Amino acid sequence: MIGVVEKIIGSTVKTINAKDKMQSYLKESYIYNAFYFNVDFDDNAELTADTLNQIDIGIYAGTKDKSFFLGTLLDLNVLSFLQNGRNIVDIAKKKVKSALTYDYDDDTVNTAIYPYLLPDCQIEITNKLEKQVKATLGYIGLDTTSYVQYVKSKYGGQISEEQLKAQLNASINKRIFTGRGETLTATEQTFTISSANGWYDRIIIYVQEGNINELELQSLQTVVERNDMETLTDIAFLRNDRDPTKSVPKQIAIIENLPASHNLNLTINGDKDTKFRILTERIV
C-alpha cells in the first residue's frame, strides 16, 4: 500500500518543563503508520535507564478506549530496538532516538486494515525529571480520503466510503501496549498480570537495574514459560557504540502468543532490590 497512496511526513517540537506535561493532537484526516520520538536532555543529565523511565508517554488512538501505548520512554525504546534494531542513545549529545513503525502490506478490505494507529490521535508526554526536556514528535501518515479513493478504484467501487471508514474504525485487531515497573523486595517474588480481553502477542520482561536469575510464568496453574536468564538475549539496546560501558538493561525475555483471559502469575528469582519492567503487547 505504501507508495500507492501519498505518504505525509510531519513533525513538531515541544519543550516540556520539569515536573510538567504536554499534549499534542495530530490531524484527524491522517492514518499513522510510523512515529518517531527524539528527546533531548539537559547537558548534565546522565542517560541511564532510570532517567529514561522518568518520561511517561501516552499514545491514544485506534482502540475502543483509545489507549494504544501507556508506558515510559524506556519502554518505547525497548520496542524501538525490538522492531527496528536501532542503537538509540547518544551519550555525548544527550539525545534519545526511538521509533514505532508498522508494515501495512495487506490492504484487503475484508480484514481490519489498520490494526494500529487510526485518525484522531493524541500524544501525552509527562516529564518527571528536575530539568526540562525537548521532544521532537514526528510521524509518517497517509491521507484518509486519498486511501478511500484508492480502495474504491481498486475494487470497482464495490465498497462505499462509509463502509471503509467503518472498517477503519472497527474495534478488532487493535494493539494496546502497557508498561509497568516492579521491584524485587525478596530474592523470589510472584507478580500478577491481570486478565483482560484478547490475547498477548508479546509479554516483554526486562531488567532496568539489578539481576534476575530465573523467571516462571504460570497460567491456570500450568507453567507456560521457565527461563534461567542465561539463555536470554544479552542486548545492550540502550548503548552508545562509542562508549560501551554505558550499557543499561541487558536482560530481556520475550514470551509470545498467550491468551489474556486468565490471570498470569510471574515468579521472579533474583537479587533483592532488582528493578524490572513488564511490557505487554495485547491484541483486542
Nearest by Cα to 264 from 199, 182, 213, 185 = 199
- Between CA 265 and CA 194 the distance in angstroms is 9
| Residue 237: band (very low, low, confident or very high) from pLDDT cuts 50, 70, 90 | very low
Torsion, Cα 127 129 133 136, to 10 degrees, reads: -40
As a whole number of angstroms, the longest Cα–Cα distance in the chain is 64
Torsion, Cα 58 94 80 57, to 10 degrees, reads: 0
What confidence tens digit (pLDDT) does each residue in 118-143 have?
556 788 999 999 999 999 888 877 77
Residues 203 and 216 sit within 8 Å (Cβ to Cβ): no
How high is the pLDDT of residue 249? 56
How high is the pLDDT of residue 238? 45
How high is the pLDDT of residue 78? 84
What grid cell was written down for 72?
515510559
How high is the pLDDT of residue 104? 45
- Between CA 98 and CA 81 the distance in angstroms is 8
For the chain, the structural domain boundaries read 7-168, 175-283
Single pTM value for the model? 0.80
The domain at 175-283 falls in which architecture? Sandwich (2.60)
β-sheet with 20-25: strand ranges across: 20-25, 122-127, 55-60, 67-72, 175-183, 275-283, 199-209, 252-259
Q: Which span out of 185-199, 203-217, 218-232 was modeled with the highest average pLDDT?
A: 185-199
CATH node for 7-168: 2.60.120.730
The total number of residues shown for the chain amounts to 284
More confident residue, 214 or 84: 214
| Residue 44: band (very low, low, confident or very high) from pLDDT cuts 50, 70, 90 | confident
Q: Do domains 7-168 and 175-283 have the same CATH topology?
A: yes
How high is the pLDDT of residue 86? 63
Q: By CB neighbour count within 10 A (0-12 exposed, 13-18 middle, 19+ buried), where does 98 fall? A: buried
Nearest by Cα to 277 from 212, 188, 199 = 212
Name beta bridge partners: 215.
227, 268
Pairing of the two strands 95-101 and 20-25? unpaired
Residue 163 has pLDDT above 60, yes or no: yes
| Residue 256: band (very low, low, confident or very high) from pLDDT cuts 50, 70, 90 | confident
